[in-house]
Amino acid sequence: MKALFNGLPKKDVLLLATLVTLLALGAILSITSGSWHIEVDHVFKIVFQKLGLFSGKIDDVEATIVWDGRMPRLIVAFLVGFSLAVAGCIMQAVFKNPMASPGVIGIDSGAALGAVLAIYLGLAAKSLLALPLMAIIFSLLTLIMVFAIATSRGHTSISTLLLCGIALNLIFGAMTSFIITLGTREFEVGRVIVTWLMGDLNNRSWEHVRIVVPTTLLALFGTLFFVRDLNVLMIGEETAANLGVNIKFARNALLFFSSLQTGGAIAVSGVIGFVGLIAPHIMRGLIGPDNRKLIPFAGLLGAAFVIYADLVVRLVFKVDLRVGILTSLMGGPFFLYLLIKYRKRFEYI
């Protein structure tokens, strides 16, 4: 990772400092604010004691709120935002389309269907790992289905891939709606399903952190391993082939890592839309298209976006608003803006 930031221009260093400052401020607000206000120095004492760096006296109630309640929620918000933004970077680079996002080939819908099935069948109630496993498995199965349908004689058509993704989004959406209809017969099951589909960070625990950390790190390092190939693929497949890039292997690996990050994020937070669209697009306009810089920078912006969206939901709105609803309310108009901005690229027959 150190090599990624060597020789950064001053404006990029300033941008990085701004992102880190925003994240630090968001973290402090997230942990100290709420129905029970906790002083910043108390938070540091609690965290240091839990890490074995402080042996002084702390308030047990505050320690429970900070360490078992707000800290896991903050970490999950950070990792979910980071994962979705990185997945969006991959999608936009592979498809060479600024409006691409993890949901473009049905990965979001597949993961959602798997999670809803886990809730409806009662698997999520029996094991905390059931829901994330089902979400990740279904996201990967969706990727396999898309490629199986879009590949003919060893060649995968990008346009067919996108059209297949649209079709699977519709199919999986209909299946999810059908399961919701069945789930409403049992009030509690239906409530859990609907709440999860809205995107929710309430009651996150260290178990959720342990679920999303491996998928985030594995997919991140895998993506960085292929980051040079990703940059070359953006230029064109013919150029990439001439430079010795194994196009099929690199593209499939990158889309696999995107699916893994998306599935892992959705597994612990529910459906939080448009982070993978907004963060990469904004950051690309600030630092350029080089994915060696864009991926970590966009990841940090995505993390900040989810953390502050969670803060707004918790502290500003008095109604029971979910994070996924807020990000969709913000992301929908942004998507329309991109559609209008890039409409001249489209061809009408």
Q: What residue segments make up the domains of the chain, in order of their start?
A: 2-342
Backbone angles phi, psi at 212, to 5 degrees: -85, -25
Q: For residue 151, give the H/E element and its range.
A: strand 151-152
Give the per-residue pLDDT at 342: 63
Upper half-sphere CA count for residue 202 (Cβ side, 13 Å): 13
Q: How far apart are CA 131 and CA 65, in angstroms?
A: 25
The fold adopted by the segment(s) 2-342 is ABC transporter involved in vitamin B12 uptake, BtuC (1.10.3470)
Q: How far apart are CA 299 and CA 187, in angstroms?
A: 37
Give the per-residue pLDDT at 7: 60
pTM: predicted TM-score of the whole model, two decimal places: 0.87
Q: How far apart are CA 320 and CA 185, in angstroms?
A: 23
Angstrom distances, CA of residue 294 to CA of 70, 224, 236, 255, 284:
29, 11, 19, 17, 6
Give the per-residue pLDDT at 347: 43
Mean pLDDT per 10-residue section of the chain, whose length is 349 residues: 60 92 95 88 89 82 91 95 94 79 80 89 84 87 84 71 83 89 74 81 89 93 93 84 85 89 89 86 89 94 94 78 81 74 52
- In 3-state terms the chain splits into helix, strand, coil percentages (rounded to 5) of 80, 0, 20
**Closest Cα to residue 168, out of 143, 203, 136, 186?**
143
User: Helices in the chain by DSSP H: which ranges?
Assistant: 10-32, 40-50, 60-63, 71-94, 107-120, 123-126, 130-150, 158-183, 187-197, 206-225, 227-235, 237-242, 247-269, 275-287, 291-315, 323-341
Backbone angles phi, psi at 204, to 5 degrees: -75, 145
Q: How far apart are CA 259 and CA 235, in angstroms?
A: 23
Q: Which residues pair with 151 in a beta bridge?
A: 156
Give the per-residue pLDDT at 230: 92
Task: Report residue 173 as tokens.
Answer: 């959406």
Give the per-residue pLDDT at 179: 87
Please, are residues 261 and 87 in contact by the beta-carbon 8 Å criterion?
A: yes
Give the per-residue pLDDT at 102: 76
Give the per-residue pLDDT at 1: 47
Q: How far apart are CA 180 and CA 174, in angstroms?
A: 10
